[in-house]
């Protein structure tokens, strides 16, 4: 197995960890105002991710960092071709982080309420933007030969260069699916991490969301079968239906850990699917496609084309092998230290 | 607007970086201060240390949060606006950022969470270790990312691919041990210590000697007076080290980027036994001598090389050399900017050191401040200025070192104009620049108001300690937590 493939796997692993771990952070951020009926309950919800959210967010730094290190062309193209959506993402992440961290240190319930609203709004925005961008990852961009995307004429063309792709209908669908996933991850996480009224409401929400989702997936599968639509859609719909049915059942029977585990594994699988979606589109011997060019397939970004030099890969391999296992160990330790459920009921 | 996309992108990078680098040095020094205060508590058993740890720790957490979210922007910046630079230097910068993230950021973020929430969960020494780990993480982060900037100032450990022309890293160890990095790291760290120290000095002095805020007890007043002295010592020690390490860095930069030091002095002609102009009026950038200048003879030679009789190269001579070496073009940065930022950086830093030293002298051996004295009352009224000075010095220092490296983005290899993302439009960059400016402005106001709120509170016990919490022995795995306020 060559270094390029190994590093691609590591890059995808970092992205999986980011989306899985921050997925429930964003979900919880959204659900604090939805499930918590008063300041105390909302505080309990936020406390479930309090010790972990910052460490989880660093997986984004790691994912971007290893993408830059191992595939500099991919990093360069992705970020510059999605300039304004990425800027929006950064602004929302800033709002989310500050709202979470400042929440409990301010002057009282009104301050906390404002932080909770900011947290919910930013979390929602982040999830929608990521969903739209992931859909763009799958569909590709109008890449030129040098990996850049050119703007149309005028200022509107300038703004539309990078905003256009995320305002398409497939991107909208991606955004909604991501929102759904974040809510399910959040509700299964809260079911696992709290006691009292929040635990109950979270479980009910999981059953409602996952149950409803199962219905939609089954309907989609049936519809795809009826119109004779393509294989992948049917497979995805069936897989989604089975997964969501499992989550619904687990939540209903109070196997909260199982529900969460299935949810997070499903997100992981979805992320892997997004990143390898274009692999089949390889042209001749040019290698697996990372990001397709909708202008000319020969200009697509490929695994071997975007990779760093062999010496750079060897260098960071050493660092990765030594450092990353340690990270997993002490992050795991942190989850173990704070493993007790958070009480959302009032203690008299 | 008249600004093209290159100017806008450069402006944006400057704005977001300067803003980020207001909160980062504060986080570095507050992390170390929190760890030191907690250590002092464990060693002396004096409860005022524990209460100060809580306060400084909260300041750390809110400052660190802003540093984190603005730091995310930094990591994306290279790909967003400077993708050509990212492609060309991916081999060098990519591993630097990746290793900084994998090594330092995970450490800081995870252990800060363990520290803030783990007061009741971890044995005392283990809990102490968490905050020291955070402090260590901040230093590792600084060292690694400075290696990246030091590469831009003095490219080392690379070769150029004959086919693609891109830079390939030949040794990460040599990248880290770049002599510019070895000089810049202690200098920036010392500068960071000054900011945190000055902040603690101003908070402590204000609460100890200013009008009473919460009807506080004598205990609190004494604790804040202690905090002020700790902050003052940090500022003085930091200031002294900044000066020493700055001197060292200046000499190294003279070797590798002589144009920068020549511009810092507006020295147009190579001079032996060159004087240092402390202050000059008139055309510093024009190539003709200023009409008024306070000069210290031979000081520039001493600063730049270390010997009063040394020869310091001049701007015009260097320009001619570079044309011969790199081809036609203008290799001179904005000389007035270099000249004044260099002096402003030193001036602001030294003034902060002087104010802190004055405070230490006035409060020596447990003396209180004589609040009937006019000058002392004026000093107290200006107490807010004290943290602003080292913050300004840090910022101006970065403006100096980055602008005086122009037109190079990597000295001797690539120009700034070559690094920008192809296809980027001014409409996009203007939008993002305004958006960042607006959000960062809002964050600064919120941060400041929160800090002012926190420093007005009575010193209290740890936030995760809740009223009526049962002892660890009584808690079983099944018993949930009473909700800590987060």
pLDDT at residue A271 greater than cutoff 90: yes
A47 touches chain B (CB under 8 A): yes
Cα–Cα dist B285/B336, whole Å: 5
Pick from A244, A254, A261: nearest CA to A200:
A254
Cα–Cα dist A327/A314, whole Å: 20
Please tell me the least confidently modeled range out of A211-225, A268-282, B336-350, B408-422: A268-282
- Backbone phi, psi, residue A318, to 5°: -60, -45
Q: Which residue of B80, B441, B475 to mutate against A (max A Cβ within 10 Å)?
A: B80
- Could you report the per-residue pLDDT of A112-128, keeping only the tens digit for each? 999 999 999 999 999 99
Q: Which of residues 151-170 of A touch B (CB under 8 A)?
A: 151, 155-159, 161-162
Cross-chain residue pair A106–B66, CB shorter than 8 Å: no
Cross-chain residue pair A149–B423, CB shorter than 8 Å: yes
Based on C-alpha coordinates, what's the Rg of chain A?
Answer: 21
Local structure of residue A287 (DSSP, 8 states): -
Sign of CA dihedral A233, A239, A242, A248: negative
> Is residue B95 within 8 Å of residue A312, measured between CB atoms?
yes
Cα–Cα dist A281/A270, whole Å: 19
**What pLDDT, on a 0 to 100 scale, did the predictor assign at position A124?**
97
Q: What percent of chain B has pLDDT over 70?
A: 91
Q: What percent of chain B has pLDDT over 90?
A: 58
A80 touches chain B (CB under 8 A): yes
Cross-chain residue pair B109–A55, CB shorter than 8 Å: yes
pLDDT at residue B449 greater than cutoff 60: yes
Residues of B in contact with A55 (CB under 8 A): 106, 109-110, 113
Q: How far is A237 from chain B (nearest CA, A)?
A: 35
**What pLDDT, on a 0 to 100 scale, did the predictor assign at position B288?**
65
A60 touches chain B (CB under 8 A): yes
Of A57, A151, A338, the CB nearest to B423: A151
Chains A & B: contacts with CB separation below 8 Å: 281
Cross-chain residue pair A57–B109, CB shorter than 8 Å: yes
pLDDT at residue B361 greater than cutoff 80: yes
Q: Is B2 helix (H, G, I), strand (E, B) or coil?
A: coil
Pick from A42, A41, A104, A47: nearest CA to A338:
A47
Of A66, A94, A343, the CB nearest to B439: A94
Residues of A in contact with B121 (CB under 8 A): 337-338
- Could you report the per-residue pLDDT of A179-209, keeping only the tens digit for each? 999 999 999 999 999 999 999 999 999 999 9
Q: For B380-392, what is the HEC assignment?
A: HHHHHHHHHHHHH
Q: How far is A344 from chain B (nearest CA, A)?
A: 7
Q: Which residues pair with B168 in a beta bridge?
A: B159
Cα–Cα dist A13/A63, whole Å: 8
Q: Which of residues 258-297 of A touch B (CB under 8 A)?
A: none
Q: Which of residues 208-267 of A touch B (CB under 8 A)?
A: none
Confidence label for B286 from pLDDT (cuts 50, 70 and 90): low
Cα–Cα dist B82/B79, whole Å: 6
Please tell me the least confidently modeled range out of B32-36, B169-173, B391-395: B169-173
Q: Which two tokens stand for residue A84?
A: 């304004």
- Those residues whose C-beta lies under 8 Å from the C-beta of residue B44, and which sit 6 or more positions away, are none
Q: Which two tokens stand for residue A29?
A: 């951020």
Mean per-residue pLDDT, B162-173: 86
pLDDT at residue B240 greater than cutoff 90: yes
- Structural element, H or E, at residue B279: strand B276-281
- ipTM value > 0.85: yes
Residue A157 lies in a domain: no
Based on C-alpha coordinates, what's the Rg of chain B?
Answer: 25
Mean per-residue pLDDT, B388-408: 93
pLDDT at residue B212 greater than cutoff 80: no
Cα–Cα dist B301/B311, whole Å: 7
> Is residue A286 within 8 Å of residue A305, measured between CB atoms?
yes
Max distance between CA atoms of chain A, in angstroms, equals: 70
Q: How far is A217 from chain B (nearest CA, A)?
A: 36
Cα–Cα dist B389/A106, whole Å: 27
Mean per-residue pLDDT, B87-93: 89
3-state helix, strand, coil in chain B (%, to 5): 70, 5, 25
Domain encompassing residue A122: 3-149+162-343
Q: Which two tokens stand for residue A268?
A: 């992981």
- Structural element, H or E, at residue A259: helix A256-276
Residues of B in contact with A195 (CB under 8 A): 480
Sign of CA dihedral B253, B256, B258, B263: negative
Cross-chain residue pair B76–A312, CB shorter than 8 Å: no
Cross-chain residue pair B122–A337, CB shorter than 8 Å: yes
Of B66, B84, B110, the CB nearest to A331: B110
Our separate counts of H helices and E strands in chain B read: 16, 8
- Backbone phi, psi, residue B272, to 5°: -95, 135
Phi-psi domain of B124 (left: phi exceeds 0; alpha: psi -120 through 50; beta: other) = alpha
Q: What is the overall mean pLDDT for chain B?
A: 87
Phi-psi domain of A328 (left: phi exceeds 0; alpha: psi -120 through 50; beta: other) = alpha
Confidence label for B272 from pLDDT (cuts 50, 70 and 90): confident
Cross-chain residue pair B76–A86, CB shorter than 8 Å: yes
Cross-chain residue pair B118–A337, CB shorter than 8 Å: yes
By C-alpha distance, the chain A residue nearest B60 is A101
Q: Which residue of A74, A316, A322, A326 to mutate against B (max B Cβ within 10 Å)?
A: A316
Q: Which residues pair with B272 in a beta bridge?
A: B311
Burial of A334 (0-12, 13-18, 19+ CB in 10 A): buried
**What pLDDT, on a 0 to 100 scale, did the predictor assign at position B475?**
35
Cα–Cα dist B155/B174, whole Å: 10
pLDDT at residue A321 greater than cutoff 50: yes
Q: How far is A15 from chain B (nearest CA, A)?
A: 13
- Provide the terminal-to-terminal Cα distance of chain B, rounded to the nearest Å: 45
Residue A155 lies in a domain: no
**What pLDDT, on a 0 to 100 scale, did the predictor assign at position A232?**
80
Confidence label for B215 from pLDDT (cuts 50, 70 and 90): low
Of A148, A316, A338, the CB nearest to B423: A148
Q: How many domains does chain A have?
A: 1
- Those residues whose C-beta lies under 8 Å from the C-beta of residue A345, and which sit 6 or more positions away, are A195, A196, A197
**What pLDDT, on a 0 to 100 scale, did the predictor assign at position B283?**
63
* Domain regions of chain B by residue span: 5-257+333-462, 258-332
Cross-chain residue pair A94–B483, CB shorter than 8 Å: no
CB atoms within 10 A of CB B159: 11
């Amino acid at each position: 197995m060559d270094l390029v493939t190994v590093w691609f796997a590591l890059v995808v692993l970092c992205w999986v960890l980011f989306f899985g771990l921050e997925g429930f952070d964003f979900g919880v951020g959204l659900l604090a105002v939805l499930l918590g009926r008063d300041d105390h309950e909302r505080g309990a919800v936020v406390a479930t991710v309090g010790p972990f959210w910052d460490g989880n967010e660093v997986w984004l730094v790691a994912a971007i960092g290893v993408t830059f290190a191992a595939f500099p062309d991919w990093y360069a193209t992705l970020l510059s071709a999605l300039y304004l959506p990425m800027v929006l993402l950064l602004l929302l992440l800033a709002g989310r982080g500050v709202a979470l961290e400042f929440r409990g240190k301010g002057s009282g319930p009104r301050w906390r309420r404002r932080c909770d609203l900011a947290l919910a709004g930013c979390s929602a925005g982040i999830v929608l933007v990521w969903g739209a961008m992931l859909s763009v990852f799958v569909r590709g961009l109008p890449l030129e030969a040098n990996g850049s995307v050119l703007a149309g004429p005028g200022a509107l063309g300038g703004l539309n260069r990078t905003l256009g792709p995320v305002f398409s209908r497939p991107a909208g669908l991606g955004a909604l699916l991501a929102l759904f996933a974040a809510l399910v991850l959040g509700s299964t996480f809260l079911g696992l991490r709290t006691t009292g009224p929040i635990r109950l409401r979270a479980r009910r929400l999981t059953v409602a969301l996952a149950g409803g989702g199962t219905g939609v997936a089954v309907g989609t599968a049936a519809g795809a079968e009826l119109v004779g639509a393509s294989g992948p859609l049917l497979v995805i719909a069936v897989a989604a239906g089975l997964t969501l049915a499992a989550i619904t059942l687990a939540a209903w029977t109070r196997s909260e850990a199982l529900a969460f585990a299935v949810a997070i594994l499903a997100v992981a699988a979805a992320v892997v699917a997004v990143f390898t979606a274009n692999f089949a589109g390889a042209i001749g011997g040019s290698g697996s496609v990372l990001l397709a060019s909708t202008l000319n397939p020969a200009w697509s970004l490929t695994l071997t084309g975007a990779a760093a030099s062999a010496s750079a890969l060897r260098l960071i391999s050493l660092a990765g092998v030594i450092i990353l296992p340690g990270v997993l160990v002490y992050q795991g330790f942190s989850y173990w230290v704070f493993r007790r459920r958070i009480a959302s009921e009032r203690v008299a | 607007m008249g600004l093209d996309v290159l100017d806008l992108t450069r402006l944006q990078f400057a704005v977001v970086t300067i803003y980020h680098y207001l909160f980062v040095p504060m986080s570095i020094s507050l992390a170390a201060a929190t760890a030191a205060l907690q250590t002092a508590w464990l060693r002396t058993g004096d409860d005022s240390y524990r209460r100060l740890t809580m306060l400084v720790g909260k300041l750390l957490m809110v400052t660190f949060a802003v540093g984190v979210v603005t730091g995310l922007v930094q990591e994306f910046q290279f790909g967003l606006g400077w993708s050509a630079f990212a492609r060309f230097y991916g081999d060098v910068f990519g591993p630097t950022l990746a290793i900084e993230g994998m090594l330092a950021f995970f450490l800081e973020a995870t252990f800060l969470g363990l520290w803030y929430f783990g007061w009741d969960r971890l044995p005392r020494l283990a809990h102490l270790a968490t905050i020291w780990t955070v402090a260590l993480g901040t230093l590792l982060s600084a060292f690694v990312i400075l290696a990246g900037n030091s590469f831009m100032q003095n490219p080392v450990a690379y070769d150029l691919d004959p086919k693609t022309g891109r830079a390939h890293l030949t040794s990460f160890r040599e990248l880290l041990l770049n002599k510019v990095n070895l000089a810049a790291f202690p200098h920036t760290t010392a500068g960071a210590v000054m900011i945190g120290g000055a902040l603690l000095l101003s908070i402590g002095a204000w609460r100890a000697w200013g009008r009473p805020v919460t009807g506080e007890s004598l205990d609190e007043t004494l604790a804040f007076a202690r905090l002020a002295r700790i902050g003052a010592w940090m500022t003085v020690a930091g200031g002294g080290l900044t000066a020493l390490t700055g001197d060292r860095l200046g000499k190294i930069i003279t070797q590798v980027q002589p144009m920068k030091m020549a511009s810092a002095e507006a020295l147009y002609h190579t001079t032996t036994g060159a004087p240092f102009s402390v202050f000059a009026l008139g055309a510093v950038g024009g190539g003709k001598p200023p009409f008024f200048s306070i000069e210290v003879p031979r000081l520039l030679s001493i600063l730049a090389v270390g010997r009063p009789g040394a020869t310091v190269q001049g701007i015009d001579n260097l320009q001619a050399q570079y044309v011969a070496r790199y081809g036609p073009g203008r290799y001179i940065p904005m000389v007035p900017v270099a000249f004044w930022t260099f002096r402003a950086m030193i001036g602001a830093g030294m003034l902060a050191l002087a104010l802190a030293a004055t405070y230490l002298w006035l409060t020596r051996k447990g003396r209180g401040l004589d609040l009937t004295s006019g000058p002392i009352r004026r000093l107290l009224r200006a107490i807010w200025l004290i943290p602003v000075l080292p913050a300004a010095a840090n910022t101006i220092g970065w403006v100096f070192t980055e602008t005086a490296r122009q037109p190079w983005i990597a000295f001797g290899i690539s120009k700034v104009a070559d690094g920008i993302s192809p296809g980027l439009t001014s409409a996009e960059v203007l939008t993002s620049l305004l958006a960042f400016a607006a959000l960062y402005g809002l964050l600064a106001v919120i941060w400041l108001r929160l800090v002012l709120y926190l420093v007005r509170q009575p010193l209290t016990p740890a936030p995760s300690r809740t009223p009526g919490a049962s002892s660890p022995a009584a808690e079983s795995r099944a018993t949930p937590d009473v909700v800590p306020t987060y």
